[in-house]
Structure 1
Amino acid sequence: MLDDILLADPRALTALDTGGVLRGAATAGAQVRSAAQGAADARVGDLAGARPRALVLVRRPGASGPAAGLLTAVLGPSSPVPVVVVDTVPSWIGPLDVVVAHTADADDVDLADGVAFAVRRGAEVVLSAPTDGPVASAGAGRARLVEQRIPVPPGLDLPRALAVGLSVVGSLELLSSPLDPGLDALADQLDTEAERNQPAHEPFMNPAKSLALRLADRTPLLWGTDPLGAAAAVHAAGALATHAGVVAHADEVGRAATATGLLRAIDHAARESDVFHDPFDDPDGGAEAPPPRLVLLATVEEDPGQVTLRRAGRMWQSADVVHPVDEIARGVPHAPLLRAGLLASRFDVAAVYLGLATRSIDPGHLSTGAGREES
């Protein structure tokens, strides 16, 4: 059970957070700035003017998977080059390809083998990894190594992984509108979000605490109303699993709406929340699983309700909608990307708050290994 009194007590939260996980989650903006500077130092900008045969995103355990999903959604079907997401470097890799890989595991032997193979075949490799260990050694002198300068607890390095990928995408000029090489707009938004979510703020002023309260004792159904929202939802489900031990379902709303069992569960939960509902009139029987909480994640300008109606054929009045247009106004350059980054960060912090307030995850355990990511 969630201790909502604990969420309102910043001293108690700080005392319980022995691993500094909340502090790590607040470094999202700093991670973006550090990664952008690291990419500049690694001369990722030298890729400018290149038109690769393929942009290959290597998905390894951890943040690289959600980062690849976000990058793929940002580029979309209008990408001027094929975007290939793989778990291992493919055998066809060659000198016309650009490979992007991120890991927090310096000893990922499979990735080390893939990096060595890619550089041997002449591919351009941009690698975000700790500077020690087999992964960095595999690309030594041949891969563009973006050093990991800000240590964070496991599961909180998505900002760094995303920033490195965006640096490559920006250098290759794959977007119709150019990205700021320093990624300052994204970093600034993440800093502002961290300020809103700091422990001293009461839940009604703290979006992450408020979200944690809404998800407590529920089975979260995190459905994106657009590709970037769906990618953020996948990351959010992973964050809840990592930091709070919560199992969540994540998908794009059109696909999710084909899961008829989930639709019945949503409708049943909505009936249960009716003040006139008779709890003894339950033809489906008592469910042992926590009731679902539908959360719609949206990043585009269009109203999420209208998008849901078009894609799923119906709307859910009981759904929570996380559509940060108040924080990032319509018309801002790359607004959907900024909103997706904000959503990912908010769910990271909400998951940490939920884990602390339910005491479901040992925060000291989450800090294990963070120190070895220092350069």
Structure 2
Amino acid sequence: MPFIDEARLDDDQLAQLDSRQTLRSLASAGAQVRHAIDLAGEAGLGRLMGGERPRSVLVAALGGSSVVANVLELLAEPGSPVPVQTRHNLPLPGWVGALDLVVAVSQSGRAEGPLALAAEASRRGASLLTVGAPDSPLADISARARGVHVDVPAGTSSRTTLWAMLTPVVLAAHALGMVDAGPLVFARVADRLDQQAGLFRPSSETFVNPAKTLACELAEGVPVVLGDGPLTGVAACRAAAMITRTARIPATWGELPDAASQVVACFDGPYTDAGLTSAAVSGPADIFADPYLDGAPAPKLRLLLLRDDGSERVDERARTLADAVAQTARDVGVRVSEHGTEAGHALERLAAHIALTDFAATYLALGLGMDPGLSPHVADLRDRTRG
């Protein structure tokens, strides 16, 4: 099992290991929202589709930017008359044409998938909204297509500039009558993110810092992140990606009710007390086993259950199912961490979950002695695949 040094998390020199200032970037999420509102206004979102509602919206995004598409689908799904779909790369669906809106998101403005999709959408005469770095290839495609481009200020990575990319896309959807999430909603989101950043600040000691506490809990096992519904499902997907990419610990995720059987089935396997004591898996447990002589014990599952208990409409069936999964986990020795949210707009509740798990994944990397912003193997992969 990985060893997280809790003392390192409370060390005044913690920032020295964070060479790309990931914690500082995450703490700027509220400021990102406010700045993005201004940039979106300057870009002229009202020009999209001539103010008319599109027939459909296709979001082109991948990697750390793909959560933008997930959030837009989440917000639009309950009542929007406009379908939202996601693509990561070519081909662009044959039905996309002049009546549709294509949204291409890339923090660097150079991701091949969104670039290719934006170029093809332009060729077909579709309306185009691009979000990315200024003076980038993506911005150039948008300019030539007479689309709307919203600048994303320079950041360490797409993982830490989520709100700079998400805000203009949702504001555009609001302007087109697809979702109810205008500037006033985002002002409250920014305040919620500021509140969370203060709670999770590096100077706050582990025993009063929920993000540091969660980081220590996640280090105890193989993380399984489970959302109790659509909103927390999006948060769970983001959390698993951050744990994997930032803390370099494999993590899986699911959303209830669909993932209930899939997750519970794992409780019979070799990563729980029930599985480890099964003769079919490992034989009788050796009570005299010495971890120093016989090796470290096998890893165990750690369940992180994200709950949307701040929603005005609580689904009692979903709550009962989440309770049952959590109790089943505890019955087989799986440790469970549960986190809910305060009441508010769906974006506010989502922001609270994302802030917690983003900070937790970063503290997990730092506690394990790793720089959260730099991965030598990712850099090596880029070198090997660079044309």
**Shift in Å, 1:265:** 4.8
**Shift in Å, 1:228:** 1.0
> 1:252 and 1:21, CA in 2 relative to 1: closer, same or farther beyond 3 A?
same
- The answer to whether residue 309 in structure 2 is matched with residue 292 in structure 1 is no
For 1:91, the equivalent position in structure 2 comes to 94
In 2, Cα distance between the equivalents of 1:291 and 1:362? 24
Superposed CA offset, 1:176-201 (max 9, x none): x4522672111111111111111000
Q: Secondary structure at the match of 1:39?
A: helix
Q: Is the 8 A contact 1:305 1:315 kept in 2?
A: no
> 1:359 and 1:178, CA in 2 relative to 1: closer, same or farther beyond 3 A?
closer
Superposed CA offset, 1:196-222 (max 9, x none): 111000122212111101111311111
- Any gaps of 5 or more consecutive residues in structure 2? 286-295, 331-335, 380-387
In 1, Cα distance between the equivalents of 2:351 and 2:270? 27
Return 252-261 or 206-215, whichever deviates more: 252-261
In 2, Cα distance between the equivalents of 1:358 and 1:257? 31
Alignment length (residue pairs): 350
**Aligned ranges for residues 1-375 of structure 1 at < 5 Å?**
1-9=3-11, 11-47=12-48, 49-63=51-65, 65-88=66-89, 89-141=92-144, 142-175=146-179, 177-180=180-183, 183-259=186-262, 260-265=264-269, 268-269=272-273, 283=279, 284-285=281-282, 289-300=298-309, 301=311, 307-310=318-321, 314-316=325-327, 318=330, 319-325=336-342, 329=343, 332=344, 334=345, 336-361=346-371, 363-364=373-374
Indicate the RMSD between aligned Cα atoms, in angstroms.
2.9
In 1, Cα distance between the equivalents of 2:141 and 2:181? 32
Q: Secondary structure at the match of 1:18?
A: coil
Amino acid at match of 1:341: A
Amino acid at match of 1:192: Q
Q: Secondary structure at the match of 1:258?
A: helix
Amino acid at match of 1:12: Q
Q: Is the 8 A contact 1:37 1:182 kept in 2?
A: no
In 2, Cα distance between the equivalents of 1:178 and 1:355? 34
For 1:276, the equivalent position in structure 2 comes to none
Superposed CA offset, 1:154-181 (max 9, x none): 5222222221221112111223x45226
Q: Is the 8 A contact 1:253 1:312 kept in 2?
A: no
With normalisation by structure 1, the TM-score equals 0.84
With normalisation by structure 2, the TM-score equals 0.81
Amino acid at match of 1:290: P
Q: Is the 8 A contact 2:8 2:367 kept in 1?
A: yes
Q: Is the 8 A contact 1:124 1:143 kept in 2?
A: yes
Q: Secondary structure at the match of 2:52?
A: coil
Percent same amino acid among aligned pairs?
29
**Shift in Å, 1:308:** 4.3
- Any gaps of 5 or more consecutive residues in structure 1? 273-278, 369-375
In 1, Cα distance between the equivalents of 2:304 and 2:241? 15
Q: Secondary structure at the match of 1:56?
A: strand
In 2, Cα distance between the equivalents of 1:37 and 1:98? 22
**Shift in Å, 1:255:** 2.2
For 2:292, the equivalent position in structure 1 comes to none
Structure with the greater alpha carbon radius of gyration: 2
In 2, Cα distance between the equivalents of 1:109 and 1:153? 16
**Shift in Å, 1:337:** 2.1
**Shift in Å, 1:361:** 4.3
Superposed CA offset, 1:53-87 (max 9, x none): 10111132322x11211221122242211111122
Amino acid at match of 1:58: A
**Shift in Å, 1:19:** 2.1
In 2, Cα distance between the equivalents of 1:322 and 1:33? 27
In 1, Cα distance between the equivalents of 2:106 and 2:60? 10
> 1:109 and 1:363, CA in 2 relative to 1: closer, same or farther beyond 3 A?
closer
In 2, Cα distance between the equivalents of 1:178 and 1:350? 27
Q: Is the 8 A contact 2:171 2:181 kept in 1?
A: no
> 1:187 and 1:133, CA in 2 relative to 1: closer, same or farther beyond 3 A?
same
Amino acid at match of 1:322: H
**Shift in Å, 1:315:** 4.5
> 1:180 and 1:211, CA in 2 relative to 1: closer, same or farther beyond 3 A?
same
Q: Secondary structure at the match of 2:13?
A: helix
**Shift in Å, 1:49:** 4.7
In 1, Cα distance between the equivalents of 2:315 and 2:252? 19
